[in-house]
Amino acid sequence: MSQKRSEPPQIPLWLFQTFKSGEINLLTSGKENLQLKIENRRISLNLIRKELLKYILSLEVKPEETSILRMLAQLKNTAEKLKQNGLTITISHKDQIILTLGAEANPTLSKLITRTNAIQVNDLTKLIEVIRELR
């Protein structure tokens, strides 16, 4: 059964239900690509390679969407589901937090764009830089 794009993926919720705490470092050809840390109802996802961010965004964002603002708005369902469950996911690139989704999100200007208090853009400059390099 295929999943519709409008439905939030269940992977974040599954991770929280399955793992209470822990760390995973993903290496490909001896190079670190991803660091995943789970603790206290929070997943910290640190993407070392930008290609992984592109893949993660593609799970929730329609490929034809090129506007960063529209891409953020499309993450709304997942972020709100996380917030309802008291869960948080931070997405970083090379240890610099770019986005916070869910319960710990404290948006300011991005709330006007995404129309939710469940998405916080921590570093807009870095987000724009990473997205531009992925195109």
110 lies in some domain: yes
2 lies in some domain: no
* Predicted local confidence at residue 26, as pLDDT: 84
52 lies in some domain: yes
78 lies in some domain: yes
3 lies in some domain: no
**Tens-binned pLDDT, residue by residue, of the chain (135 aa):** 444 444 444 556 666 666 778 888 888 788 888 898 988 889 898 988 777 766 666 666 665 555 677 777 778 888 998 999 899 999 998 889 999 999 999 998 878 878 899 999 999 888 888 777 666
109 lies in some domain: yes
* Predicted local confidence at residue 48, as pLDDT: 85
Other Cβ atoms less than 10 A from the Cβ of 90: the count is: 20
Name the residue range of residue 73's domain.
11-134
Please give the tally of structural domains in the chain: 1
Looking at this protein, which amino acid is placed at residue 22? G
34 lies in some domain: yes
1 lies in some domain: no
* Predicted local confidence at residue 88, as pLDDT: 94
